[in-house]
Amino acid sequence: MTTTNPIPGQSTLAPPPAAQLLVLASVAALEELETILAGLAETFPPESVIVAAQNENAASLRTPLRVVPVAQPGGTRRLTPGDYVNACDIAREHDLRAVVMLGPGADSLRRPALRGLAGAILNASTDLAMPLYALPPNTGLINSAILYPLTRALFAARARFPLALDLAFSMRMAERLAAAAGKVAGADPDDAILWPVNEAVAAGFSVDEIDAGPREIPQPAESDINAILAFVTGSLFSDIEAKAPVWQRPRRPPALRRTSAPSSPAGNEADVAHMVEGFRLANANLQEIWSLVLPPHTLVMLKRFSAVEPAAFRMPENLWARIVFDFLIAYHLRTINRGHLLGALIPLYLGWVAGHINVTASGTAPERHIEGVASAFEAEKPYLVARWRWPDRFNA
């Protein structure tokens, strides 16, 4: 296309459209990156996107998109603080308007998910867009039991996956996340987790949830549930502790929007029996630690549940909410060594999982039960606030 030049007989080419979107692809495998680039090229005008690829061989791929190399911090299978810093720096350098970050396994995301995440920032003036995945039942239960209900109750955010593998955000949110990443303490900042939903709420930024459909969730290198639960839950507890002035203020949650969830298969009786047996052993052997964290009434109820047959075992929603809140309080007060504290939570979590499997095997939709758990956390929030402000009142 040409434009008229004021000097007769001359013409100039119109400048190409400026890029608006940065996509940071946190992947290691070249074939995975190739699939992501193909999906992006089909979804967005090539000139509107810059892709930051964490793969040293990305330049060898044939694509109409502009690809820039970026270091892969730590080589982890999740988004790290270093990823947020890199994304902010590149987006600022190219004067972009929005950032989409894609975690490992993002080649399984469908085109509408990519379009929806980017569109929420570019077209709807949203600061943070979180994906709502359609995952198989009994997948990501640490998220369902602890991360989601805690985030929803304390920060009044409806993000079903507050530690999602993918997300999109505005430039001011990029600046906020990069600043938070820069404050991460420790020798290795990439061995930490950022919680974008909590940061957005603390900043007063807008948060939306985008239907992302199915997605493959890569298995972590560390298969030990003890280490995974302690690491992720400890990180969330630490972030909640740092943002206490934020979540103690009353907040009205946004309207709940959900899509249909997959149906639930029958529970695995062998797994339930194994988990309940672990809960029983912990009830017999961890009383000394549990008594430092949990009130007598809770200990009595746990002892009663330890006598229930595995097929009938269930952790009541309000009891589970108070247990998690009590452990959060103990983490804050440093009642015992934090590593030992989070280790003592594991058999209680497995008891919740056993109950969840039993509930869904009886015909209750998994999402319905999880939403009930989240509602219980919301209802019990005054208990947490009171214990946080006046812990001595509950020590008798």
Q: Is 240 exposed, middle or buried (0-12, 13-18, 19+ CB in 10 A)?
A: buried
How confident is residue 323, by pLDDT bands cut at 50, 70 and 90? Answer: very high
Strand (E) or helix (H) holding 211 = strand 207-213
Residue 302 has pLDDT above 70, yes or no: yes
Q: Which of 82, 79, 77 lies closest to 101, judged by CA? A: 79
| Averaged pLDDT, 359-387 | 95
Cα–Cα distance measured from residue 357 to residue 266, given in angstroms and rounded to the nearest whole number:
8
Sign of CA dihedral 140, 213, 21, 35: positive
The reported pLDDT for the residue numbered 87 is: 94
How confident is residue 226, by pLDDT bands cut at 50, 70 and 90? Answer: confident
| Averaged pLDDT, 85-114 | 94
The reported pLDDT for the residue numbered 264 is: 43
How confident is residue 266, by pLDDT bands cut at 50, 70 and 90? Answer: very low
DSSP for 214-231, written as a single string: ----PPPS---HHHHHHH
Cα–Cα distance measured from residue 68 to residue 230, given in angstroms and rounded to the nearest whole number:
36
Mean pLDDT is lowest, of 1-15, 138-152, 175-189, 235-249, for 1-15
Average pLDDT over all residues of the chain: 87
Q: Which two tokens stand for residue 205?
A: 């930024």
Q: Is 187 exposed, middle or buried (0-12, 13-18, 19+ CB in 10 A)?
A: exposed
Cα–Cα distance measured from residue 161 to residue 140, given in angstroms and rounded to the nearest whole number:
9
175 or 255, higher pLDDT: 175
Cα–Cα distance measured from residue 128 to residue 340, given in angstroms and rounded to the nearest whole number:
35
244 or 139, higher pLDDT: 244
How confident is residue 188, by pLDDT bands cut at 50, 70 and 90? Answer: low
Residue 277 has pLDDT above 50, yes or no: yes
- According to DSSP, the β-strands at 98-102 and 128-133 are unpaired
- Tens-place pLDDT, residues 112-122: 999 999 999 99
Mean pLDDT is lowest, of 25-29, 177-181, 217-221, 234-238, for 217-221
| Averaged pLDDT, 18-39 | 88
Cα–Cα distance measured from residue 110 to residue 153, given in angstroms and rounded to the nearest whole number:
30
How confident is residue 183, by pLDDT bands cut at 50, 70 and 90? Answer: confident
Q: Which of 152, 112, 144 lies closest to 131, judged by CA? A: 112
The reported pLDDT for the residue numbered 125 is: 84
In the chain, the domains with their CATH numbers are 18-222 (3.90.550.10), 269-394 (no CATH)
Q: Which two tokens stand for residue 212?
A: 């992302």
DSSP 393: G
The reported pLDDT for the residue numbered 27 is: 73
Residue 177 has pLDDT above 50, yes or no: yes
| Averaged pLDDT, 70-77 | 64
Query: Which residues have C-beta within 8 Å of that of residue 14, sequence separation ≥ 6?
Result: 1, 2, 3
Residue 267 has pLDDT above 50, yes or no: no
DSSP for 106-147, written as a single string: GGGS-HHHHHHHHHHHHTT--SEEEEEE-PPTTSSHHIIIII
**Rounded to 10 degrees, what is the CA torsion of 67, 120, 371, 367?**
-60
DSSP 46: G
Residue 16 has pLDDT above 70, yes or no: no
The reported pLDDT for the residue numbered 4 is: 45
The reported pLDDT for the residue numbered 48 is: 95
Dihedral class, residue 103 (left if φ above 0, else alpha if ψ from -120 to 50, else beta)? beta
Sign of CA dihedral 358, 233, 292, 149: negative
SS3 of 181, please?
helix
For the entire predicted model, the pTM comes to: 0.89
Residue 77 has pLDDT above 90, yes or no: no
DSSP for 286-339, written as a single string: -HHHHHHHS-HHHHHHHHHHTTS-GGG----HHHHHHHHHHHHHHHHHT-S-HH
- Tens-place pLDDT, residues 238-255: 999 999 999 999 888 777
Q: Which two tokens stand for residue 62?
A: 């044939």
Angle (deg, nearest 10), helices 317-333 and 381-389: 20
Residue 326 has pLDDT above 70, yes or no: yes
Distance between start and end Cα atoms, the chain: 79
Cα–Cα distance measured from residue 282 to residue 362, given in angstroms and rounded to the nearest whole number:
26
- Tens-place pLDDT, residues 51-71: 998 777 777 888 999 998 887
